[in-house]
Amino acid sequence: MKNSNIQLTFANVMKYGFIAGIIISITSYAFLYFMINVFPSIFIDYLNPMFNSDGSRDLYYYLHGFVLGISLAIFWLGFRRTGNRGFFINGIEFALMYACVALIPVLWVTYSAMDVTFTMILSWLIYGTTQAFIGAMVFTALDTKKH
């Protein structure tokens, strides 16, 4: 299923990253909208002066899906295993690996150094792991398409 011949090149990173960025952005905004409407109490914590809400950095927020997509593409193309594990299993394995090596350490230090709640940290962990899962599903589909 996976094509192990796909190389870690700038063109492949940008292609995979851009496609994943679009899909991650759309699903992330939909998930955020859903969560705000279903669990509004979680988002009360964001009414805190620690968070920038003057709009001066909104572009960074909107570019996040693409930055994440490119980062995940580099990770995927550079470190993925070869073999046929299946569409869903690839997504789960990749998302959990990303959560363990990237999210948990940075969220640990964030929780220890900033005035954020454990609920916020947990929601970020779930959100980031879900984004990595979506990215891996896109990458698996792209790999399968080339095969």
Q: What is the reported pTM?
A: 0.82
Q: How far apart are the first and last CA of the chain?
A: 7
Confidence of residue 1 (pLDDT cuts 50, 70, 90): very low
The string of DSSP letters for 53-99 reads -SSTTHHHHHHHHHHHHHHHHHHHHHHPPPS---HHHHHHHHHHHHI
Check whether 88 has a pLDDT greater than 70: yes
Which residue type, as a one-letter code, is found at position 20? A
Contacts of residue 98, Cβ cutoff 8 Å, sequence gap at least 6: 72, 75, 128, 129, 132
The mean pLDDT of the chain is 87
Kindly give the interhelix angle for 58-79 and 10-38, rounded to the nearest 10 degrees: 130
Q: pLDDT, tens digit, for every residue of 13-28?
A: 999 999 999 999 999 9
Q: Where are the domains of the chain?
A: 10-146
